[in-house]
Every structure is written in C-alpha cells, then in structure tokens.
Amino acid sequence: MCPPDAATRNPGTRHREFTSQGWLFVGNETQHPIGIFDSGVGGLTVTRAVMELLPHERIVYFGDTARVPYGVKSPGTISRYASEIVRFLLEKDVKLLIVACNTMAAVALPAITALSPVPVLEVIDAGAKSALAATRTGRIGIIATPSTVHSGAYPAAIARRGGDAALTVSRACPLFVPLAEEGFLDHPATRLIAREYLAPVLAENPDTLILGCTHYPLLRPLLQDVAGPGVTLVDSATAVAADAARVLAETGLLTAPDEARPAHAFFVTDAPDRLRGIGELFLGRPLPDVHLVSLGC
C-alpha cells in the first residue's frame, strides 16, 4: 500500500494529505478507529485489552502473517515492513496507533513515529512503566522472545523511565508462543517448560515479572502459579490499553458511548482462516470476517 500522489479527501470529517513529513490531518477524529498492528496474531491480546477497557472504540487490526516471524530479520527490513503497515492503517483513518509487537517496538519505532501524525503507543514502554510502578524492591524479571531479549529494549526503557537502580534479569522463552497458539495454556508440558524458563529469573528474587510478548498473557494463570504469589505479573497488553485510554482522553479523541456495538476490522497478509480459527482464543469472543491484503510497492 503506497502513499497517494495527491491529497485524499474524506468528506465531512477531515482533509488528509501525505507530505514529506508524513500524513497531515485536519478535522474531527473522535469517530475514527484505533489501529493495532503486530507481525502476526499475538497482538490480539492487546486488541482484547483495548476492547475491554474501551468498549465503544472501533479497532482496525493488522497482522503481517505472511512475513512473520520478524525476530530473525534485519532492523532495516523490520522498519520497512512496519512503515508499510503504518501507511495502510493511516489509509483507514486511524486516530491512534498501537505497536502490539515487541520486535517492531524495539527496532522500528523511529520509522513508525516519523510517518505518523497521530499518537503512537507501544508495548515495551507501557510494560516498563507499569513494572516500575508495581515493584517494591526494584528487582524486575523480564520474559520475552529471543529477539526482544537480545535487543535490551526493556532494560533500556526501565532505565529511561528513571529505573537506573533497578536490577533486571531477562530470559528468552521461545516455546511459549507455539504453546499459546496451540491452546496448551495449562498443559503439563507447558508447566514443565515454564518452570525451566523461570528458574534462573526467580533465582534473582524479583518481585515483578514483565510478560514481554503479546502471546504470554494467555499463559498468565499458569505463569503466576509458577512464579508464586509474591511476584506481580505485568501484562504489556493491559498496560498499553490503559495508556490508550489516557491519551484519547487527554486529546479529546474518546468516542462517545453508544448502545450499538462498534464494528471492528481485521486484516492479514496470509492465512486469514488461521487468524479466524484462533481468534476466539485470543479475543475471548468470535472473530468477525478477516480480510486478506497485500503490502509493498
């Protein structure tokens, strides 16, 4: 989806123009949707959290299922893919963007914010902020995918938010994603793997544990059981949904309550039936139609 060569007009709402600085908008945006995007299906946990906290808001979700996983790709490629997704969502007149992918948040955020004239939120900063608010001892554990752990994005975000004195310990948990997608949420094998993954983290006595992947909230009850009652689990999906509510309120962009249920839209670049099949697991509700699209100029 390439930017248009000329201005596009949306009668009755606003004028939209693509310039060298990105998109420029003028007009009332309260009725426009929130754009949420991920490299695949994990961002549906963020979508669920936003739906629960902001039930009157419309959502446009984008999963780049044809090019997942992003974690093995170069930063330049990830930034290019992210930019294509952002342009697509801006074509849908979104009023807020949520980067529901830890890899894109860690690698491509400058490219995303450079393109977007609307507020951009992402899961890493939201998770770091919530962890600092929750910790009593300054000892914070982080579990995430290998690419996110290797990026060091969560410790950097914690330090950037004033947590320089915090002790962080990170652990890559690559098997949690396929286990969550298979629905093995309380399977003995999942519990065994969780104990192995969390053992070196818990050995550092954290009082807070960041679930640094959008798939991990599905495993939250099991992970809480393994971590123990003395450890507070921080869900980035819940945290970024709270940030979305705050930003929309501060900017006057909250949708007014309506008795009608908002119509959401879901887009993928491959295998729409797969998203439809596991959507209920992630969203806690049946998934409406999923649209197949192509990206790239």
Please check whether residues 80 and 148 belong to one and the same domain: no
Decide if 156 is inside a domain.
yes
Q: Is residue 163 part of a domain?
A: yes
What does the buried/exposed string (b/e) look like for 57-94 if buried means 16 or more CB atoms within 10 Å of the residue's CB?
bbbbbbbbbebbebbebeeeebbebbbbbbbbbbbebb
- Asked if 118 and 128 sit in the same domain, the reply is no
Spatial CB neighbours of 243, under 8 Å, sequence gap ≥ 6: 121, 126, 129
42 and 114 inside one domain = yes
Please say which residue of 212, 236, 260 terminates a domain: 236
Per-residue pLDDT of 92-147, as tens digits, reads: 999 999 999 988 998 899 999 999 999 999 999 999 999 999 999 999 999 998 88
Residues 16 and 117 in one domain: yes
- Span 279-290, pLDDT tens digits: 888 888 888 789
Which domain range does residue 181 map to?
124-236
Question: Residue 28 — very low, low, confident or very high, per pLDDT cuts 50/70/90?
Answer: low
Is residue 2 in some structural domain?
A: no
Q: Are 41 and 21 in a shared domain?
A: yes
297 as an active site residue: the answer is no
Q: Are residues 115 and 141 in the same domain?
A: no
My answer on whether 53 and 193 are in the same domain is: no
Final residue before a domain boundary, out of 199, 215, 236: 236
Question: Which stretches within the chain are classed as H helix?
Answer: 44-53, 75-91, 102-107, 109-115, 123-134, 146-151, 153-160, 176-181, 188-202, 220-227, 236-250, 272-283
The residue annotated as part of the active site, out of 2, 173, 213, 297, is 213
The model's pTM is 0.83
Domain limit, last residue, from 188, 214, 236: 236
243 and 97 assigned to the same domain: yes
Query: For position 150, which CATH number holds?
Result: 3.40.50.1860
- Burial status of residue 236 (CB atoms within 10 A of its CB: 0-12, 13-18, 19 or more): buried
Residue 297 lies in a domain: no
Assigned domain for 277 exists = yes
pLDDT one-digit tens code per residue, 59-76: 999 999 898 888 778 889
Please indicate, yes or no, whether residues 149 and 199 belong to a single structural domain of this protein.
yes
Q: How many helices (H) and strands (E) does the chain have?
A: 12, 13
Number of Cβ within 10 Å of residue 209's Cβ equals: 27
Catalytic residue among 2, 101, 173, 297: 101
Assess whether 139 and 149 both reside in one domain. Answer: yes
Statement to judge: residues 29 and 111 lie in one domain? yes
Known active-site residue 101: yes
Same-domain check for residues 128 and 232: yes
Q: Is residue 3 part of a domain?
A: no
pLDDT of amino acid 74: 85
